[in-house]
Chains A and B, each alone.
Chain A
Amino acid sequence: TQLLEQSPQFLSIQEGENLTVYCNSSSVFSSLQWYRQEPGEGPVLLVTVVTGGEVKKLKRLTFQFGDARKDSSLHITAAQPGDTGLYLCARLEYGNKLVFGAGTILRVKS
């Protein structure tokens, strides 16, 4: 199983700033999912990307899947304290098994 590397591990920014977090692998993904997990809760699915070069938007969040389907990024515009959480990328493998990266902890200060 190829690992998913997420960067940065930790990010602390001021409200209103923009940020980008990354998810990379040495192997090709068939599809990639992004989740957000808040303290004391389970992960919540944000988006699934399938096609190389695909861009999906969810309000202030923009998700991009690399052309070669080996990497993905999540860009947040004008971050708010409510965006604070652990952002996880996950690759879907055969049999609905998700392989998660270690995540990026985002803290948005007001």
Chain B
Amino acid sequence: NAGVMQNPRHLVRRRGQEARLRCSPMKGHSHVYWYRQLPEEGLKFMVYLQKENIIDESGMPKERFSAEFPKEGPSILRIQQVVRGDSAAYFCASSPAGTGANVLTFGAGSRLTVL
């Protein structure tokens, strides 16, 4: 019973390149959340998705960042034209629908380094 799977675990990009982070939720979970953890800061909410729908993207930067959770396949967080300030750990979490929706299971994170 695999947990939330994120890949890659580590990603290095040069300024201006694109970063794609993937998240496969736990089996049976239909809700996916992305959080960002900057050095010396806490976890910050970015986006909440259900299959083929963005429910809440209030934490997403207005430019360069996008997220999707297609009908088939993992959720993807995409960062275009990365800058050094995007260097952070990006965590995905998932939860089931219904009464367990407020119990989030986090993945181990993807650590992005922008050179």
Contacts and interface: CB of A to CB of B under 8 A. Distances in A.
Contact of B48 (A31, A96, A102): A96
Interface residues of B, number: 26
Contacts, number: 54
B106 A103 contact: no
B48 A42 contact: no
A42 B108 contact: yes
Interface string B55-87: 110110000000000000000000000000000
Contacts of A43: 43, 91, 106
A89 to B, nearest CB: 10
Given A42-B107, A42-B108, A96 B42 contact: no
Contacts of A42: 4, 91, 93, 106-109
A88 interface: yes
Contact of B108 (A40, A88, A97, A99): A40
Interface in A32-87: 40-45, 48
Interface residues of A, number: 20
A31 B104 CA distance: 14
A95 B55 contact: yes
Contacts of B93: 42
B95 A96 contact: yes
24 contacts: A40-B108, A41-B108, A41-B109, A42-B93, A42-B106, A42-B107, A42-B109, A43-B43, A43-B91, A44-B106, A45-B105, A48-B102, A95-B48, A95-B55, A96-B33, A96-B104, A97-B33, A97-B45, A98-B33, A100-B42, A100-B43, A100-B44, A101-B42, A102-B42
Interface of A: 31, 40-45, 48, 88, 90, 92, 95-103
In the A-B complex, the 3 residue pairs with the smallest Cβ-Cβ separation, listed nearest first, are: A42-B106, A102-B42, A100-B42
